Chains A and B, each alone.
Chain A
């Protein structure tokens, strides 16, 4: 009954389309949330069933129908539930349900309420297809499907040109990644004859030489796909612009679920990636570089959602860092905790924006803590969770990643991670202080409308706040035989020939690592409090002193401008040239010129140039007859 999990939201889409406006707002909300909650229920039941099985049997597949079978190649529409997809499916349906409920409140005044939930349910369908697919091609269906929904939802307020532009940018940048994914898939077919996960991973160690060119290229191409979907260097540029979409979309798609698809795909393909150490190094370095770069940009942004967007890019970098150093489980762990606290942060930000009459600039906020007590409390928890303060969810997963980087000998990656952690603590505390603390900078008009959000929006925040606290305990360190999550994922992660390499470090080193990362985080928090709360003059002074750096960060290293100048503009120029010069002048010039040449070349022939097609046809026919006679002889 796995198929029913993605089918439920799809059915809701169909009903929504069929009934149309007859549903009414309430009906739409009930239908959309009901479908996703039901999907969560079915997912929970399926996962509980999975957990009741003995460890080596936790691998349920289900064939729906044969998708295409051509010659020696065949691919099915089939689903797979194993411990890895179980985590993803629970996170997607669980967090998804909460965000759906939140959105009923957030979008309640929007004219296109029905269209919004239509897209949102379509997204759930695609995302569930992605995580439950049992082969790369069906995964790709979900992969492109979530991209489409992302396109539609970013451009939801389509009458705003910036929103429509952002949607298109997201889709096209993702397509560049998909190009890599497709070629990677072809290489896998060429080597293993299949795209089915089971077959590919069973065959991979036999058909790919470990560290060989084929598997390295294939995994690099697939990683290109992941950099598109999960907003890593060089394809990260679409995610910050994606904040043009409604905030529940940012929470669901651009924080909790879709953007983690790249990490999921890497974890799913860990057998292949482990055969390609060179790719793993690339993944780790790209992840670390992205984490650092995005964190530094986050320092200098003033739009609350943009800070969170760069924070997401940065945290995704951590997840890839984990994959790159071989700790795929830690990457998935961070996917999960990040889904909790980042969804909470976005929804909290949404609650703030809602209260502030759509103001997103943090310079016009401040002192909101007393006005929005629930939003403030839950967001404080999420902020603490993401900064890596001990005993909150983010601490456990981030620490595991840093530990894995250090233990596997990637000292440079580890250092980048530590610096990134400090930066994260700084910009998140800055966000918190600028929004909720200090003197109020709220405009008079906005002040007037300031209100706490309705219960439909607050309730999901509270649930996620609880999860942001306790969600990390599945990954308590210092446990014999690995922690709960590690044991749960073991059947998936140890299926590869290479297996999971355990790098043990001494207890003392482990403690030292924890203290270092916690110390750095606390230092970041302290600095931000000093600069923005206790002594606001310091922030101004700092900005003036480092004016060049600040401009660089504020303008996001001018990457967008660079791409525009180097890729977009020349490309449009070449297109114009090809059309106006090559097509119209050269080819058509030759075609039309053929006639003129004849005309000018012979005065006699000119007499026959009547301009009637019939005459031309006559001569052509005569010519043919002549040839006919020649051959008939």
Chain B
């Protein structure tokens, strides 16, 4: 791909496809899903080289593109990726394709618009991961909101308008605060360097007085926390998920929530490291509350989608806790959990979609005894459930283990309380699984349910492969993300020290307990 604008292609190809799909002639509505899926497949194929073309060890960003956008204020069209955004972009293109094939038969109403919006959403998400200009980031961040708002508001369930508006306003409140912070930060940057710029690199290069970081950090963190979503600003998520169409739920869970954690990792944490050190323990505790709270509330949900939504609150709490641990294991665990959650929770929403399509209900009480009727569905549901509760050997375990290990190194109490999430996740997931799949068939209608079709099996097959691959051999993933994560950690630490020193303060001590180097064992000492 050399000097070709690969990243731009990845952003604008789905956007172009979206426009073309929307413009399909009236009679060709049926073919909208075909063209859209084809576009998503091409997009995924083109994005695949992200796996091997992004060299993890290379410092900084790769495949950079930089064009002037609004030169007078220093805003530029600056793209680039590293191991972290590369993997998240792959997750995006992969899950978008999966979501489209998964929702093949789910949408009858206005298919052209539906698929066009899904493609536009994909473009927005990729742009958010790729851009290295803070203003551009904000543009993509907001742009992403609109397709999702429409997907929920038009194709959603009964309370779709309430859910869509809630989703929109919640996110808006956070992002407006972030915009204020971005603009103010731009002002500070201009005074610092004399050259106005919105470039992230310029912000990275600017030390900030620790005292002034606090409000900036809070504004960014608030915006991202809503997106994650962190307790107690999570209440938009269950409503949005319940009302959203299956494809929307999949994308929302698999990718959109990661924007929040990605935002912390890329922006809030390295930009305002001293404020982070100050607030980190609080955020960690809020994350832990989220882990427990999401799990506890998930337990009593009568609606499967709502249950999965609350479980997302719990899982994303693990992601945030890993970040706040501020060490290699915590970061890697957090990033793994982001990917795992994308795969597993995406699969869970697809599974709920599968039976919703057949029965038009998601209430747990309406099911029971499905194993006998739909065995293939039940087995896949079981595997995904186990991955979601972090059974060793599946992907969920690797992420949770590393997060908890990272958290443990920073604080015993964090790990001890957060680990109860491991017990609770087994409770709510297995209880739901039991009520849906085990027992006698309690509703006559369920006897006629059809098992997974070939298309549905093809959708789940790659997800199952990923669940086991990432669980048994996560090293290829870890190798790709670690250098970038470590650099982020270093950057955060360096900036913290630099900022404190500039302000004449004692440099903060990053003292996560490091693991002692293991003692050599007899077999190694022996010649």
Interface pair B423/A588, CB less than 8 Å apart: no
Tell me which residues across on chain A come within 8 A of B439, comparing CB atoms: 158-161, 164
B515 at the binding interface (Cβ < 8 Å): yes
Interface flag for A18 (CB, 8 Å): no
Q: B180 in the interface, Cβ–Cβ < 8 Å?
A: yes
Decide if B200 is an interface residue (CB 8 Å cutoff): no
Q: When the two chains form their complex, are residues B235 and A71 in contact, meaning their CB atoms are under 8 A apart?
A: no
B165's nearest neighbour on chain A, judged by CB, is A613
Q: List, in ascending order, chain A residues with CB within 8 A of B478's CB.
A: 68-70
A179 at the interface (CB under 8 A from B): yes
Bound-state CA distance A256–B333 (Å) is 36
Contact B300 A190 (CB under 8 A): no
**Chain A 577-606 residues near chain B, CB threshold 8 A:** 578-579, 583, 587-588, 591
Given A144-B391, A591-B170, A620-B172, the answer on whether A68 and B372 have CB atoms closer than 8 Å is no
- When A68-B478, A572-B300 are in contact, do A189 and B515 touch as well, CB less than 8 Å? yes
Contact with A191, one of B168, B393, B516 (Cβ below 8 angstroms): B516
Nearest-CB residue, chain B, relative to A74: B518
Residues A158 and B371 in contact in the complex (CB < 8 Å), given A579-B300, A591-B166: yes
Asked if B329 contacts A172 (CB within 8 A), the reply is no
Q: Complex Cα distance A202/B420, Å? A: 31
Among candidates A67, A159, A203, residue contacting B474 with C-beta atoms closer than 8 Å: A67
In the docked arrangement, what's the CA distance between A422 and B204, Å? Answer: 75
Q: Is the CB of B402 within 8 A of A168?
A: no
Report the minimal beta-carbon distance from A192 to chain B, rounded to whole angstroms.
6
In the assembled complex, how far is the CB of residue A569 from the closest CB belonging to chain B, in whole angstroms? 12
**Does A562 make an interface contact (CB < 8 A)?**
no
| Proximity bits, B187-214, A CB within 8 Å = 1, else 0 | 1000000000000000000000000000
Instruction: Output the least CB separation between B70 and chain A (Å).
Output: 13
Q: Is B41 an interface residue (CB 8 A)?
A: no
Q: Which residues of A contact B405 (CB under 8 A)?
A: 73, 186, 189
Q: Is the CB of B431 within 8 A of A144?
A: no
User: Is B392 positioned at the interface, with any CB of A under 8 Å from its CB?
Assistant: yes
Contact A71 B297 (CB under 8 A): no
| Shortest CB distance B250–A (Å) | 23
Asked if A478 is at the interface (CB within 8 A of a chain B CB), the reply is no
* A198→B522 CA distance, assembly (Å): 9
Q: Does B491 contact A (CB under 8 A)?
A: no
A554 to B76, CA, bound (A): 78
Task: Pick from B422, B430, B474: contact of A178, CB below 8 A.
Answer: B422
A537 to B52, CA, bound (A): 81
A406-433 vs B, CB cutoff 8 Å, 1 = contact: the mask equals 0000000000000000000000000000
From B172, B180, B521, name the one whose CB has the most chain A CB atoms within 10 angstroms: B521
A179/B438 in contact, CB under 8 A = no
A53 at the interface (CB under 8 A from B): no
Shortest Cβ distance from residue A84 to the other chain B in the assembled complex, whole angstroms: 17
CA distance A175 to B427 in the complex (A): 9
Answer whether A190 and B431 are a contact pair too, CB < 8 Å, given A144-B391, A183-B415: no
User: Interface stretch among A362-370, A539-547, A624-632?
Assistant: A624-632
Residue of A nearest to B295 (CB): A575
Question: Residue-by-residue, is A56-99 near B (CB-CB < 8 Å gives 1, otherwise 0)?
Answer: 00000100011111111100010000000000000000000000
User: Is there a chain A Cβ closer than 8 Å to B293's Cβ?
Assistant: yes
Contact of B235 with A164 in the complex, beta carbons under 8 Å: no
- Chain A residues with CB under 8 A of B518: 192-194, 196, 199, 203
A179 and B516 in contact, given A144-B391, A159-B369, A613-B165 (Cβ under 8 angstroms)? no
Binary contact readout B171-192 vs A (1 if CB under 8 angstroms, 0 otherwise): 0100010011001100100000
Nearest A residue to B310 by beta-carbon distance? A579
Q: Which of B168, B187, B393 has the most CB of A within 10 A?
A: B393
Q: Does more than half of chain B's interface fall in helix, strand or loop, or is it mixed?
A: helix
Q: Name which residue of chain B comes closest to A111, CB basis.
A: B372
* Binary contact readout A151-191 vs B (1 if CB under 8 angstroms, 0 otherwise): 10001001111001101100110011011001100110111
A526 within 8 A of B: no
A207 interfacial by beta-carbon distance below 8 Å = yes
On whether the beta carbons of A159 and B402 are closer than 8 Å, the reply is: no
Complex Cα distance A613/B420, Å?
Answer: 41
Residue from A66, A194, A631 in contact with B187 in the complex, judged by beta carbons closer than 8 Å: A631
A26 CB within 8 Å of chain B: no
Closest to A180 in B: B419
A172 neighbours in B (Cβ, 8 Å): 423, 426-427, 430
Q: Is the CB of B430 within 8 A of A140?
A: no
Q: B450 at the A/B interface (Cβ < 8 Å)?
A: no
Interface residues of B in 488-504 (CB under 8 A from A): none
Interface string of B402-418 (1 = CB under 8 A from A): 10110011000001100
Tell whether, in the assembled complex, residue B513 and residue A190 are in contact, meaning their CB atoms are under 8 Å apart.
Answer: yes
Instruction: Verify B473–A159 contact, CB threshold 8 A.
Output: no
* A583 near B235: Cβ-Cβ < 8 Å: yes
Query: How far is B435's CA from A164's CA once the two chains are assembled, in angstroms?
Result: 9
- Nearest to B379 among chain A residues (CB) is A17
A51 within 8 A of B: no
Check B235 against A68 for contact (C-beta < 8 Å): no
Which residues between 119 and 174 of chain A lie within 8 Å of chain B, taking CB atoms? 137, 140-141, 143-145, 148, 151, 155, 158-161, 164-165, 167-168, 171-172
Known: A72-B515, A175-B426, A190-B409. A578 touches B293 (CB 8 A): yes
The answer to whether B327 has its CB under 8 Å from any CB of chain A is yes
With A179-B422, A186-B415 in contact, do A624 and B176 touch (Cβ < 8 Å)?
yes
- B169 and A613 contacting across the interface, CB-CB below 8 Å: yes
Name A155's contact: one of B369, B438, B474 (CB within 8 Å).
B438
| In the complex, B444 has a CB within 8 A of chain A | no
Contacts of A587 in B (CB 8 A): 232-233, 235
Instruction: Indicate if B62 sits at the interface (CB-CB under 8 A).
Output: no
Chain A residues contacting B84 (CB-CB under 8 Å) are none
0 or 1 for each of A610-633: is its CB under 8 Å from B? (1 = yes): 000100110010011001100110
Q: Which residue of chain B lies nearest to A592 when distances are taken between CB atoms in the complex?
A: B166
Residues of B within 8 A of A572 (CB): 299-300
Shortest distance between the CB of B332 and any CB in chain A (Å): 5
Task: Name the A residues within 8 Å of B422 (CB-CB).
Answer: 175, 178-179, 182
Least Cβ–Cβ distance between A57 and chain B, in angstroms: 10
* Given contact pairs A168-B431, A189-B515, A68 touches B475 in the complex (Cβ within 8 A): yes
A564 to chain B, nearest CB (A): 14
Q: How far is the CB of A63 from chain B (nearest CB, A)?
A: 12
Q: Which residue of B lies closest to A169 (CB)?
A: B430
Assess A176 versus B299: contact at CB under 8 Å? Given A70-B332, A73-B405, A168-B431.
no
Asked if A206 is at the interface of the complex by the 8 Å CB criterion, the answer is yes
Taking CB atoms, residues of chain A closer than 8 Å to B423 are 172, 175-176, 178-179
Report the Cα distance A565→B516, complex, angstroms. 45
Residues of A431-447 at the interface with B, using a CB-CB cut-off of 8 Å, are: none
Q: Give the CA-CA distance A579 to B313 in the complex, in Å.
A: 13
A576 within 8 A of B: yes
A52 to B332 CA separation, bound complex (whole angstroms) = 44
Chain A: CB-nearest residue to B168: A613
Name the residue on B nearest A591 (C-beta).
Answer: B235
Please measure, in the bound complex, the distance between the C-alpha atom of A524 and the C-alpha atom of B416, giving whole angstroms.
46
For residue B4, CB closer than 8 A to chain A, the reply is no
Task: Output the nearest chain B residue to A589 by Cβ-Cβ distance.
Answer: B235
Knowing A175-B422, A631-B184 touch, does A198 contact B300 (C-beta < 8 A)? no
Partner of A71 from the list B299, B332, B416, B427 (CB cut-off 8 Å) is B332
Q: Does B296 contact A (CB under 8 A)?
A: yes
CB distance from A444 to the nearest CB of B (A): 30
Residues of B within 8 A of A1 (CB): none
Among all A-B residue pairs, the 3 with the closest Cβ atoms:
A71-B328, A164-B438, A158-B438
Known: A168-B434, A206-B519. 15 other contacts (CB 8 A): A68-B478, A70-B478, A71-B486, A144-B392, A151-B430, A158-B371, A159-B439, A164-B434, A164-B438, A189-B408, A198-B521, A198-B523, A575-B296, A583-B297, A623-B176
20 A-B residue pairs with Cβ-Cβ distance under 8 Å, sorted by A, are: A71-B482, A72-B514, A73-B329, A73-B515, A155-B434, A155-B438, A164-B438, A167-B434, A175-B426, A183-B408, A186-B408, A187-B408, A190-B515, A193-B519, A198-B521, A202-B522, A575-B299, A578-B293, A578-B296, A631-B183
